[in-house]
Structure 1
Amino acid sequence: MDITENYRIDANFRHFRNAVKDNDELYLVECGIERCKPDKSFGPMTRSEYHVHIILDGKGVVKMGGKSYSLRRGQIFTLIPGIEHYYYADEENPWHYAWVTFAGTRAAYFMEKAGITAKSPIRDACVEPEQFLAIIEKILSFHQLTVVNELGRTSQLYEAMALLVDSWNRKTDSPQKKASYDYSSDVYVNSAVEYIQRRYSLIRVNDIASYLGISRYYLAHIFKEKLHVSPQEYLLNYRLARSAMLLRTTGLSIQEISEKAGYENPLTFSKIFKNAYGLSPKNYRAKILMESGAD
C-alpha cells in the first residue's frame, strides 16, 4: 500500500483528501473510489459537507432522515450536511462506488439544481455511472499539491456538478422540467441585451433564445415584462439606432450601413429606416449634415 499525507491507494480503495480550500463558492474536500467488503458500514454520523456517492456495481443500504433506502448500480445517494446517516454494503453483493465530498457557498444551490435536497437525497444517475467515475478518476490523478493540479481539481469538480445537473435535466419526469429557468428574468434580459449589442447584424430572435438556453416564448415574455417591447422590436430598434449613428458620424455608404444592420438589400433597409425616422437614410444624412453646417 502507498500512503502519503493526502493520497491513498490500494487494490480496492483510492482516496484523496484536499489540503487546500481553493474556492469559497465550491471546493473539494475529498473524493475516492471503493470496492467495499461485505457489510462494511459507516456511521451513524453527521457531516458538514455534501458527500455524493455514485453506485457503480453491487448493492447496499442507506439510512437517513428516518428513512431506509435499498440501492443498486446506477443510483446516487448524497449525505446531506447536518443530517445523521448510516450506510452499509450488501452482505452477498457489496457495492462498488465512487464519491466526491465538497462544500462552498453555492454547494446547496448546485445540489438543488441537480435534484438533490434533504427531502430527496436519492436519485438515479440518469446516465451511465462510468461518466461520473471518469471525473472522479481525473480528480484523483491531480492528487499532487501543485497550483496546476489545484486548478485541475477545481475544474473537474465543476465538471461533476455540471454532469449532475445536466443528467437530472434529462430525466423526463424531473421536477426541474416543470420549474422556472435557472436564473432570474433580469439575468436573461441583461444577457440578451448584451448579446444583441455584440451580434445585432447577424442574429435573429431564435438565435437569442438558443444562446440563453430558454424558449422563444419565455424570451418574449420577459422582454415585455422588463423592457415593454418584444425581442424583435428591441433588435430592430437597436439596428436602426446603430444605423442612424453611422449615418451621422461616418462616411460609410448606405449599402455598407445596410449590411452592418443585417440587411443584404439596401432598399429593404431604406424602407424600414424611413418607417422609423420619417426619412430615407440618404435624406436623414443630408438633414444631419445641413443642420451641423448651420451650426
Structure 2
Amino acid sequence: MNPDHYQFEIGINLHPGEGELTVLFSGEGSPRPGHKIGPSVHDYYLIHTVLSGEGVFVSAGRSYSCQAGDTFLITPGSLFSYEADRRTPWQYAWAAIQGDAASHLLKEAGVSREKPVLKGADPLALHSFYHRIRHSFKQSPFPELESLEASGWLRLLLHRLGLASRDLGNTSDRHQEMIDRQVEQAKRWISLQYHQQLGISQIASSLGYHRAHFSKAFKERTGLSPKQYLMKIRMDKAKELLESKVLTIDEVSSSVGFNDALYFSKQFRSWCGQSPSEYRSGFKR
C-alpha cells in the first residue's frame, strides 16, 4: 500500500514500443487529505479523471478546482501540481500516454495544453475504461499484445471524453455539426463506392437518412445534388483512367459504375463536351 493513499493500484506497460498512441502505465488511487504532487514536470502526457471528492490542479500558473467527472491533462514539459482537498479528498484514475498522435487525439477529446481541464463527464463510464486499460497489463507472455489492447481501450476513453466535451456546446451548434457530419459521411461514401450501381435513395438509406432531408442538406453544403456529386466523382475518375491509356472505353465505363458503355459515352460527352475517345486522343502525357 502506498502510504500517501488509502487505495492505490497501477498497471505498467512492459512493451510500450513507439506507436502513434501508447499507454505507458495506468492506475487508480484514493490519496489522503491534502496529498500533493509537484510542482514538477513530466516528459509524457498524463490524464487524470476525478471519480469522487475534490481537489485542485495547477497548470501554467492557473488553478482549477476539480470534482467528480472532471478530467485534467498534464502535458510534457509543463510545470504542474495537484492537491487533494483536505475535507473531501478526491479519488482518481490516470493514464500516462506517449506517441506521435497523442497531442492531436487528446485535443480531439477536449483537452490540450491550452485547455487542460474538461469538466462534467460521467465518472462511472470513464472509470470502466481506466479499469480496462489498467487490467490490460497482466504480465502475460505477450506484453506487446497487452500494449495493443491498452491503446485500444485508451482510444475508447478518449472517444467518451470527446463526446462529453461536445455535449457542453450549444444545442443548435451540435445540430449543425451533425448535419455537416452526415454530408461529409455521404461524400466519403460516394467517393469510395462510385463504381457501384448507386442510387440516391440507396445512399440515403444506407447512411440512415431520409432522402428528401439528405438531398436538401447535401446541396446546401456542396452546391451540388447527390446525383450531380456522384456524376462528378465518376467523370473525374473516368478522365483519370482515360488519361492513363491502359483500359479500354468499355473497361473505363464499368470501372466508374456504368454497365452500358454507350450510356457512359453519352454522359461523358454531356459532362465534358467530348466523347471518351476524343478526350483520350486529345490528352498528351
What TM-score does the superposition give when structure 1 sets the normalisation length? 0.66
Q: Deviations over 1:240-283 (max 9, x none)?
A: x659842359xxxxxxxxxxxxxxxxxxxxxx99x9599xxxxx
2:98 paired with 1:106: no
Q: Deviations over 1:157-193 (max 9, x none)?
A: 111121122222222349x95998999x999855531
Greater relative contact order (CA < 8 Å, ≥ 6 in sequence): 2
Contact 1:135–1:160 (Cα < 8 Å) also in 2:
yes
Cα distance, 1:151 vs structure 2: 2.5
2:131 paired with 1:131: no
Contact 1:54–1:125 (Cα < 8 Å) also in 2:
no
Equivalent position to 1:197, from 185, 195, 198 = 195
**1:210, 1:22 → 2: CA distance?**
40
What TM-score does the superposition give when structure 2 sets the normalisation length? 0.68
2:168 paired with 1:171: yes
Distance 1:36-1:193 versus aligned 2 partners, 3 A rule: same
Aligned residues: 238
Q: Deviations over 1:53-81 (max 9, x none)?
A: 11111111111111111211121111122
2:56 paired with 1:61: yes
Contact 2:46–2:96 (Cα < 8 Å) also in 1:
yes
**Within 5 Å, which residues of 2 pair with 1:214-233?**
219-220=218-219, 223-224=222-223, 229-233=224-228
Contact 2:22–2:147 (Cα < 8 Å) also in 1:
no
**2:42, 2:28 → 1: CA distance?**
19
Contact 1:209–1:219 (Cα < 8 Å) also in 2:
no
Equivalent position to 1:246, from 259, 272, 275 = 259
Distance 1:162-1:199 versus aligned 2 partners, 3 A rule: farther
**1:277, 1:48 → 2: CA distance?**
57
Q: Who is 2:157 aligned against?
A: 160
RMSD: 4.1
Cα distance, 1:38 vs structure 2: 0.8
Q: Who is 1:35 aligned against?
A: 30
Equivalent position to 1:149, from 146, 150, 159 = 146
**1:163, 1:244 → 2: CA distance?**
39
Larger radius of gyration, structure 1 or 2?
Answer: 1
**1:179, 1:78 → 2: CA distance?**
29
Equivalent position to 1:92, from 57, 63, 87 = 87
Distance 1:230-1:202 versus aligned 2 partners, 3 A rule: closer
Equivalent position to 1:17, from 12, 18, 31 = 12
Contact 2:126–2:160 (Cα < 8 Å) also in 1:
yes
Q: Secondary structure at the match of 1:51?
A: strand
Distance 1:206-1:45 versus aligned 2 partners, 3 A rule: same
Q: Who is 1:266 aligned against?
A: none
Please list every run of 5 or more consecutive structure 2 residues that lacks an aligned counterpart in the other structure.
Answer: 236-252, 270-285
Q: Which has the larger displacement, 198-207 or 64-73?
A: 198-207
Q: Which has the larger displacement, 138-147 or 190-199?
A: 190-199
**2:67, 2:88 → 1: CA distance?**
10
Q: Secondary structure at the match of 2:195?
A: helix
2:52 paired with 1:52: no
2:128 paired with 1:115: no
Q: Which has the larger displacement, 197-206 or 46-55?
A: 197-206
**2:111, 2:157 → 1: CA distance?**
14
Contact 1:209–1:216 (Cα < 8 Å) also in 2:
no
Distance 1:73-1:41 versus aligned 2 partners, 3 A rule: same
